[in-house]
Chain A
C-alpha cells in the first residue's frame, strides 16, 4: 500500500507544478499477473512515470493511453493479455490478463 501512496505523492507534486497528469490503476487480474489489483502508475504530460501496473510489459501502451486521457479528459478501460495481443500489440509474457483503468487527474 505504501507503493500506492508514493505514486499519489508524486502525482500530487506534478499536479501542483502545473503539469497534466493521469493515473492508471489495475482493476482486475486473471491468472498470473505481476502486479496486484489496486497497483497504480502515474504519468505526466511529458511521459514520465511513477509506480507500475505490470512487470514492464504493458507500461508503454498504458502511457500512450494516459497521454491521450490527459488531452481529452476521458477515462478509459484497457484490457491486456493473451487474447488481446492483436488489439494492443502487447501481451503479458506471464500469460496473465489485466484490466487497467486510466483517468486524468484534476
Chain B
C-alpha cells in the first residue's frame, strides 16, 4: 500500500466520504474509487468502478475476478452517526453504548444546563436547537436520529427535519399516547401519515425495558436491526459484472 493511499483514506474519513480501495493482488497496484471519481491505474475500468461503488453502497469488501486478475475491493465507509436530541438521563447511557457500537455520537440540546461535556465525557455535545444543528451537520443516509426530550418544542422540530432527510433511522421516546399527539402536531406542519410512519415510536424494541441502560439496549437493538435489514436489501440482487 502506498503512503499516499493511506493519506487519501484518512482524508476520506475526515470528510465522511465513502471510498473503496481496489488492489490488484498480483502486483499490489492500487486505485481509489469514490462515488464521484476514481483515481489510479485501474480508474478507467468501468466494471471495476461499478462493482467498487456497489460494494461501497452495501458496505461490504469483496474480491473481484477481472479477466483472470484478482482485485480486492476494500470498502472504507464513514462510521454511522447517531444524533441524540435531548441531553437527558437516558442519553447519558445511550451515548456511550452507541459509541461502543462504532457510532459517531452527537448529543444536541439547546439547554445549557443539560448540554455540558461534563455530563457526556468523550461525546460531542452541541448546545443548539436540533433543526439548526442538523443543518450544520448535514443529515445523511448513514445517520440515525433519536429524540429523547418528551418536550414538543424540542422534539418536534428535530423530527420534522429528520423526516425531510434520508436518515436511515428515526426514533422518538414517548408513550403511544404521546406518539399519537405528536403525529397530530406534525400533521399540521405538513408531515403526512406515510412520512410519519418512518418514526419508530414508542422508540426501541419491546423487551420490557425499564432502566435507562435497558432502554438504551432496546433502542440500539432496534437501530442495529434496521441497519442490518437495510444493508441486506441493498445487497439483494447481485449485479452481474459485464
Do A and B associate with each other? yes
Q: Which residues of A are at the interface with B, using a C-beta cutoff of 8 A?
A: 1-2, 4-5, 8-9, 11-12, 15, 23, 25, 27-28, 36-38, 75, 77, 101, 103, 105-106
- State whether the Cβ of B72 lies closer than 8 Å to any Cβ in chain A: yes
**Which 6 pairs of residues, A with B, have the shortest CB-CB distance?**
A38-B61, A75-B28, A103-B28, A37-B61, A12-B6, A105-B1
Q: What residues of chain A lie closer than 8 Å to B27, measured between beta carbons?
A: 75
Nearest-neighbor residue (CB-CB) of A22 within chain B: B1
Question: Smallest CB–CB gap between B132 and chain A, Å?
Answer: 28
Asked whether, in the complex, the Cβ of A4 is within 8 Å of the Cβ of B76, the reply is yes
For A2, give its contact among B59, B72, B102 (CB under 8 Å): B102
Q: What residues of chain B lie closer than 8 Å to A4, measured between beta carbons?
A: 74, 76
For B79, give its contact among A2, A11, A25, A28 (CB under 8 Å): A2
- State whether the Cβ of B207 lies closer than 8 Å to any Cβ in chain A: no
Nearest-neighbor residue (CB-CB) of B78 within chain A: A1
Question: Smallest CB–CB gap between B89 and chain A, Å?
Answer: 27
- Give a binary string over B95-135; 1 marks a CB under 8 Å from any A CB, 0 the rest: 00000001000000000000000000000000000000000
Q: How far is the CA of A63 from the CA of B205 in the complex (A)?
A: 44
Interchain Cβ contacts under 8 Å between A and B, 14 examples: A1-B76, A1-B102, A2-B102, A8-B6, A8-B9, A11-B1, A11-B6, A15-B3, A25-B74, A27-B72, A37-B60, A38-B75, A75-B27, A103-B1
Instruction: Using A23-B1, A37-B61 as known contacts, say yes or no to A101 and B102 having CB atoms under 8 A apart.
Output: no
Nearest-neighbor residue (CB-CB) of B18 within chain A: A1
Q: How far is the CA of A25 from the CA of B27 in the complex (A)?
A: 15
- State whether the Cβ of B177 lies closer than 8 Å to any Cβ in chain A: no
For A1, give its contact among B6, B63, B77 (CB under 8 Å): B77
- A-contacting residues, B26-53, CB 8 Å: 26-28
Question: Smallest CB–CB gap between A9 and chain B, Å?
Answer: 7
Q: What residues of chain A lie closer than 8 Å to B63, measured between beta carbons?
A: 27-28
Instruction: Using A1-B77, A23-B1, A27-B72 as known contacts, say yes or no to A15 and B28 having CB atoms under 8 A apart.
Output: no
Nearest-neighbor residue (CB-CB) of B60 within chain A: A37
Q: What residues of chain A lie closer than 8 Å to B1, measured between beta carbons?
A: 11, 23, 103, 105
Instruction: Using A2-B102, A38-B75 as known contacts, say yes or no to A12 and B3 having CB atoms under 8 A apart.
Output: yes
